[in-house]
Amino acid sequence: MNVMRKTKLCIAICAAVAATSYSNLVTAVELEFHGDMNNRFQGYTNQRDWFNGSGLAGKEGALKKSSPTETYGEIKYRFWFEAATDDNAVRGVFATEIGGIRYGEGSGGDFSGDGTNVETRWAYVDFALPSSLDHRVKVGLQPINVDKHLWNETAMAAVFTGPLSDRWTYQALWGRGDSSNESGVDSAEDEGFDGADNFALNLSGKLSPNMKIGGFLLYQMNNQIAEGTGTINSTGYEIKAIADNSKYSITNVGGTLDYTHENLFIKGTAIYQTGTIEGVNFNPLNGPVNPADDYDLSSYFLRGDIGLDLGATTLTYTLWYSSGDDNPNDDNFDAFIATDVDMNESMIFQENMTDDDYFAETPYLLDKGYLMNKFQIDHKLSNKLTVSGMAIYNMLAEDVRLADGSEESALGLEFGARVSYKPYNSLELAVETAYLLASDATDAFEETSIQDGNSDEDIIHVAGRVRYKF
């Protein structure tokens, strides 16, 4: 056998071995590709700036006498890959997102579409402990859910989950939400945690076939005070807004209930907060900045849902109360404060189908809390078509001072409707509309030139979406 033939034979053998190894690798790993392609359309609103009022990016949020109406289309696409061993002992997840790109805008939605607009949404590894495949660990950038009213968003974390018994499960996590200002940490007080650190434990149990309960503890600490004093605004009142320049120590304790009996269902959530927040001045909606930079936090949140599931029709009554602050000038925070959430119960005051534009993403408004009374009916006309209607009476938990010196808490009566049609299992065509009959407390949200102690502007919202999920 000559050299050329030996070389060819060696190449053939190596190729066969490589192909066999690759085949074994492929059969040992399962690959999945998923997507959520959400096209949203703001059909009409008479208050463009109201739905830009989150306060986290210098947005206005003021109601105007002659605010320009607005219509637009936008896309929010999310794609993710999952790679898992054939026994699911190890999984890896990587997700990207293209968020809030409007038709015709220069962030990537104008001619040629060339913009830098892809972000990393998730990137984590999920694996089972070798000693017990029922207990798992997730590390990396991942969805976090301590409670949807308190902290329910993406963050860097290590999360441990598993069963405690045939009825009880647990979730334990450490997450770091921010460490951008580690230089602001006082080395004399450095305890090894230089960022916005969060430690949580969730327990969930099934007491009977009809009743589930849960409890959680979330402790949050931060020590990133730089030179000077930061600010926490009543608009954009969230922990994530001050995580890069404040010092806080906050304990959150909560419980949940989920009970069903025949057609009846009852759900409940209760949360209590206590702790301190330092290194920031408080900036109220109206009035001077509070010069205090050290606040005691004591607040709570309560929610209850009761309803009837009648098959094609579901009736739900929701009552919730987020505590508010009645005195913006003292050194106490009595208003419930969320870490990072996305609430969408009210189309006017919270997120809606065009969920990158909203007044608030939180279960409260400003530092004044929130009292919501909501009745909703959902009816399936067919397997493909669902219609919903709702009426909400919106109030602040504490009075807000108006321009004429009076104080009010009633925000108004909101009516909403939604239609969802699924021509295919993975495709949704939907529209929604809402109208707020404003009460006098909304005067506090109006631009200064029309504040007179009375509500002057009702709010209209009309939107739709075309959403493909796979």
**What CATH number does the domain containing 164 carry?**
2.40.160
**Backbone torsions φ then ψ of 360, nearest 5 degrees:** -145, 145
Does residue 105 form part of some domain? no
The residues near 132 (Cβ < 8 Å, ≥ 6 apart) are 162
Contact 248, 220 (CB under 8 A): yes
**Model's pTM, two decimal places?**
0.89
Find all residues with CB under 8 Å of 73, minimum gap 6, and list them.
39, 40, 41, 42, 102, 103
Query: Is 286 a member of any domain?
Result: yes
Tell me, yes or no, whether 420 lies in a domain. yes
Q: Where are the beta strands (DSSP E) in 262-406?
A: 264-278, 280-283, 294-309, 313-322, 332-333, 370-380, 385-401
Is 459 within 8 Å of 453 (Cβ atoms)? no
* 51 phi, psi to nearest 5 deg: -85, 20
Cα gap 460→389, rounded to integer Å: 16
Structural domains counted in the chain = 1
Query: 3-state class of 81 per DSSP?
Result: strand
Ordered per-residue pLDDT tens for the chain, 470 residues: 443 343 343 434 344 444 434 444 444 789 999 999 999 999 999 998 888 877 655 556 789 887 788 899 999 999 999 999 998 999 999 999 998 888 887 655 554 445 567 889 999 999 999 988 899 999 999 999 999 999 999 999 999 999 999 999 999 999 998 887 766 555 445 555 668 999 999 999 999 999 999 999 999 999 887 667 889 999 889 999 998 889 999 999 999 999 999 999 999 999 999 999 999 999 998 889 999 999 999 999 999 999 999 999 999 999 999 999 999 999 999 999 999 999 999 999 999 999 988 999 999 999 999 999 999 999 999 999 999 999 999 999 999 988 888 999 999 999 999 999 999 999 999 999 999 999 999 999 998 888 888 999 999 999 999 999 99
- Identify the domain containing residue 54 by its residue range: 43-74+138-469
Query: Is 87 contained in some domain?
Result: no
Residue 402 lies in a domain: yes
Whether the CA torsion 98, 99, 101, 107 is positive or negative: it is negative
Residue 162 domain-assigned? yes
DSSP E strands, 60-131: 72-85, 90-102, 118-129
Q: Is residue 48 in some structural domain?
A: yes
Residue found by looking up tokens 């006309």 in the block: 381
Residue 112 domain flag = no
Q: Tokens 């730089």 appear where?
A: 226
